[in-house]
Amino acid sequence: MRAVVITKPGGLDVLSVADRAVRQAGPGEVRIAVKAAAVNPTDIGLREGAAGDLEPPLVPGMDAAGTVESVGAGVDRLSVGEQVMAAVSPRRPEGGAQAELIVVPAASVVAIPDGATLPQAATLPMNGLTALLGLELLDLAVGQSLAVSGGAGLLASYVIALAKVRGLRVIADAAPADEELVRGNGADVVVPRGEGFVAAAREATAGGVDALFDTALLGRSAFAAIRDGGAMAVVRGWDDSVPERGIEIRQVRVATVLERTDWLQELRELASQRRLALRVAGEFPPEQAAEAHRLMAAGGLRGRAVIVF
């Protein structure tokens, strides 16, 4: 089967397509014929050298959508021929989602949302799980306030929508051209992105939000938007330095929840109800993976580039 591979750490030229063997599904596993696999910032980091001690070639990708090709012993929730989406770790020996056939734990697989295309479904699992994990770690009560940085991005759109489901008051930032989009995702208050974000968030909450979900990687520069003793969810790690004013850092490590079937099912149901918007920024064959990476790295996407097989 064909797979997108990273031949070594580097630029766009290290992306290639290779034929790779794929094993049979074992007990509790599902083999999926992948039709669509999203490209995320994680894939760019993997290409640029964030793989650590993993030996190339590496297959990137954390989101897949396709058809169940076979199931292993003990799998009775999913059936051959069913259209599904899956969350995948690219750090496994067999690699990630951007391959024509993948084997994954059945716990990481659910049916695609009603009415969604396979490329649309491929944008949901990893980012949706990231949003749910961050919200769980922040542990806000109904009526408390949550600021979301990078409000027009795909991850932020899921954070906003899921926060509203949980009864939170959401303040999100946006450029003027994206205000309508961010309001449409459910934000109660839209504030300017950039230098005005912190002051506007404080003004909207009379002294600071209860928590910030930092999808835009603002880091310490956004602390002033948070009240004393509040919290910030971070998605790219933290340097372990002590934050100010009793603010707590909650590190979101999505790899720890890739088998949360209940969360994947919640995401599926909300997307089926059109409460989560599934946005595809472009579709690319595996041979054009470099172009998908180029589009992702340029920034400003309001969705995900998707590899289609």
- Summarize pLDDT for 294-304 with one digit per residue, the tens: 998 887 778 99
The whole-number pLDDT of residue 195 equals: 87
Residues of the chain with pLDDT under 50: none
Look at residue 58 and give its three-state secondary structure. strand
* Angle subtended by helix axes 261-272 and 125-138, to nearest 10: 110
Neighbours of 94 (CB within 10 A): 18
The whole-number pLDDT of residue 279 equals: 95
* Angle subtended by helix axes 154-165 and 261-272, to nearest 10: 90
- What would the two tokens of residue 197 be? 């974000």
User: Cα–Cα distance between 170 and 23 in angstroms, integer?
Assistant: 45
The whole-number pLDDT of residue 207 equals: 87
- What would the two tokens of residue 235 be? 């998605």
- Summarize pLDDT for 167-216 with one digit per residue, the tens: 999 999 999 999 999 999 999 999 999 989 999 999 999 889 999 999 99
The residues, ordered by sequence, that sit 6+ positions from 53 with a Cβ below 8 Å of its Cβ are: none
Neighbours of 54 (CB within 10 A): 14
- What would the two tokens of residue 90 be? 């690219």
The whole-number pLDDT of residue 240 equals: 83
The whole-number pLDDT of residue 198 equals: 93
**166 backbone dihedrals φ, ψ, rounded to 5°:** -90, 5
Sketch out the chain's domains with CATH numbers.
2-124+278-308 (3.90.180.10), 127-254 (3.40.50.720)
Q: Is the C-alpha dihedral spanning 50, 48, 213, 304 positive or negative?
A: negative
The whole-number pLDDT of residue 53 equals: 81
CA 303 to chain centre: 11
The whole-number pLDDT of residue 175 equals: 94
Could you tell me the end-to-end alpha-carbon distance of the chain, in angstroms, rounded to an integer? 10
User: What is the enclosing helix (H) or strand (E) of 204?
Assistant: helix 197-205
Most distant CA pair in the chain, distance? 58
